[in-house]
A = this chain, B = another copy of it.
Amino acid sequence: MTVLVVGSVALDSVETPFGKAENVIGGSGNFFSASASHLAPVQLVGVVGSDYPMDRLSPLQERGVDLAGVERAEGTSFRWRGRYTHDLNSAETLETHLGVFSHFRPKIPAAFRSAPFVFLANIDPRLQLDVLQQVERPKLVACDTMNFWIESRRPELLELLKHVDLVTLNDGEARQLTEKYNLVQAARWIMERGPKVVVIKKGEHGAFMFNEREVFFAPAYPLEEVFDPTGAGDSFAGGFMGYLARTGDLSKQNLRRAVVYGSVMGSFAVEKFSVERLLTIGPDDIQERLRQFRELVAFEEELATR
């Protein structure tokens, strides 16, 4: 089954303690697509400026990402420039240039409207709501968001929550949105406003998935060399949604497996700049990382007390 993603198609310039990359392909739409395309066909909706190097997206296309929804508008592309210091924990944004993205109105191509899985990556909640008007009864709709929208579009974001099945957001965003420091309480707050499932991403500290009755936790795979954390969260979402789309199974057990896939795909994303690593891995690499992941968390069940 296909997964439709609406998100940013950007150019990133990133500096980490290990090197620099200038104007590499980035944005939530690209990272999500590069990741999810390992598991299911992807339909990408976004906008680029007339300066965007479209040929750089052809590896995505070859991987099964349908770019028919990537609109080309007169003007400059969305560019982000950021820097990570030695702890690689949070990016310092040096520059954000929205360009054509500031006038983006997603137009979902007719052929995309029946996508059974829809991911509304981090864009203006008004646009996320608008996308939902254009699609036909998806099996699952998930959304992400960020601090900027939580602050500036709170009512629209709360409206959006009523119409999505699942939310992914990071721990800082969950706390900001809910004004609850405790993540169990934060997740409950969100679920009371609509979504049946909340995935809270904690970066290098892994991810929680909450539903009404259960909590699941998956760590981030501990890499010896984290090269560039940019896009890890969107790659996580890509692995998660891609696995759901591939299996078409929304059982609780399968959602747990989807989180594991998210964690695995996120761990690849951070090994190189941009989507570089995501574009070079194959099924064997994914399988091997899954095996390592299992080994990371496995303990035999016998745990009787005294």
Instruction: List A residues at the B interface (Cβ < 8 Å).
Output: 38-40, 86-88, 181-185, 202, 205-206, 208, 214-219, 222-226, 246, 253, 256-257, 259-261, 283, 286-287, 290, 294-306
A222 to B261, CA, bound (A): 22
- CB contact under 8 A between A298 and B224, given known A205-B205, A303-B290, A305-B39: no
Partner of A300, one of B257, B261, B296, B303: B257
The CA-CA distance from A109 to B260 in the complex, in Å, is 50
Q: How far is the CB of A170 from chain B (nearest CB, A)?
A: 14
Contacting residues, chain B, for A246 (C-beta < 8 A): 306
Closest to A287 in B: B305
The answer to whether A296 touches B217 (Cβ under 8 A) is yes
Asked if B182 and A225 make an inter-chain contact with CB atoms under 8 angstroms apart, the answer reads yes
Contact of A87 (CB < 8 Å), options: B181, B226, B287 = B181
- B300 with A297: CB separation less than 8 A: no
Contact A183:B222 (CB < 8 A) given known A300-B253, A300-B257:
yes
A215 to B260, CA, bound (A): 17
Contacts A217-B296, A295-B214 given; indicate if A224 touches B185 (C-beta within 8 A). yes
> With contacts A303-B290, A305-B287 known, is A297 near B216, CB below 8 A?
yes
Query: B222 near A184 (CB under 8 angstroms)?
Result: yes
Q: Which residues of B contact A217 (CB under 8 A)?
A: 219, 222, 296-297
Contacts A300-B257, A305-B283: A206 and B222 contacting too (C-beta < 8 A)?
no
Which chain B residue shows the least CB distance to A39? B306
Residues of B within 8 A of A259 (CB): 299
Instruction: Verify B222–A296 contact, CB threshold 8 A.
Output: no
CA distance A214 to B256 in the complex (A): 23
Cβ-defined partner of A303 (8 Å) among B260, B296, B306: B260
Chain B residues with CB below 8 A from A38, complex form? 305-306
Shortest CB distance A56–B (Å): 24
